[in-house]
Amino acid sequence: MDSSTLGITRCGTKEFKWGKRTYIMGVINVTPDSFSGDGLSHDIEAALTISRRFAAEGADILDIGGESTRPGANPVSADEELRRVIPVIERLAGEMTLPLSIDTYKWEVARQALSSGARMINDVWGLKRDSRLAELAAEWGVPIILVSNQRDTSCQDIIPEVISSLRKSMALAMERGVGWENIIIDPGIGFGKTLEQNLEIVCCLDELKSLGRPILIGTSRKSMIGLVLDLPPDERLEGTAATVAISIAKGADMVRVHDVAQMARVCRMSDAIVRERCPPKD
């Protein structure tokens, strides 16, 4: 399915007109132990400063997360996650029109984040941990990102597994009342997958188009880049740029990134080639 047939997803006052250009999600990690080295812990002012900069650099939405998803990270209680994310969401929602996404798989965190001003749910477990997130998304009329997470399973043939996993998550979301236009899918780079499987996902990303929903991909600074280039997270900019450009060529509609200014340029150049015209500035 071509991206131009995916329609429009509304998120707060923002409209994502799929196929028009590649949209950029800026990552705001309000954690002390982010894999990417950008964790801000409880530093609200630092989070606000970075959020403002991302908005100026071209981010279309900000993804606020209070629990690290790196392998081996210690679980965080809902109370601690709320202490980290809610003050940031409240401040940002009060001062900018850029929509906010809550990166969580916990129902209570998502509920309070939506009440505080978030307008999208990013569920890295694709409703496998708590399907009530779909009911929240339906109740609030907000988009939900469904991620294919293989950390509880093992698989040999990754593309069919990802498609099957996402199809099940989508069916569950719609069963709980989420509108078709409010579903965004993410193949889940790094979530229980080997290096070879992650590389295959980027190479074959266009196969996910069969699911009929916009594709978000998050390769930014991830271990697949570190393993290929033998570089730490803060030196993976060029590797991230390569994966972003190839993902756009393979059908990505939104990219989740830590380096907004640089990836915005990569997106504009890729869009000019892949979408056969320069993207609009709006």
Q: What is the 3-state secondary structure (H, E, C) of the chain?
A: CCHHHCCEEEECCEEEECCCCCEEEEEEECCCCCCCCCCCCCCHHHHHHHHHHHHHHCCCEEEEECCCCCCCCCCCCHHHHHHHHHHHHHHHHHHCCCCEEEECCCHHHHHHHHHHCCCCEEECCCCCCCCHHHHHHHHHCCCEEEECCCCCCCCCCHHHHHHHHHHHHHHHHHHCCCCHHHEEEECCCCCCCCHHHHHHHHHCHHHHHHHCCCEEECCCCCHHHHHHHCCCHHHCHHHHHHHHHHHHHCCCCEEEECCHHHHHHHHHHHHHHHCCCCCCCC
- Contacts of residue 238, Cβ cutoff 8 Å, sequence gap at least 6: 229
d(CA 219, CA 240): 6
CA 43 to chain centre: 22
CA 131 to chain centre: 18
The candidate with the shortest Cα–Cα distance to 93, out of 114, 109, 74, 75, is 114
d(CA 221, CA 219): 6
Q: Could you give the residue numbers annotated as active site?
A: 222, 256
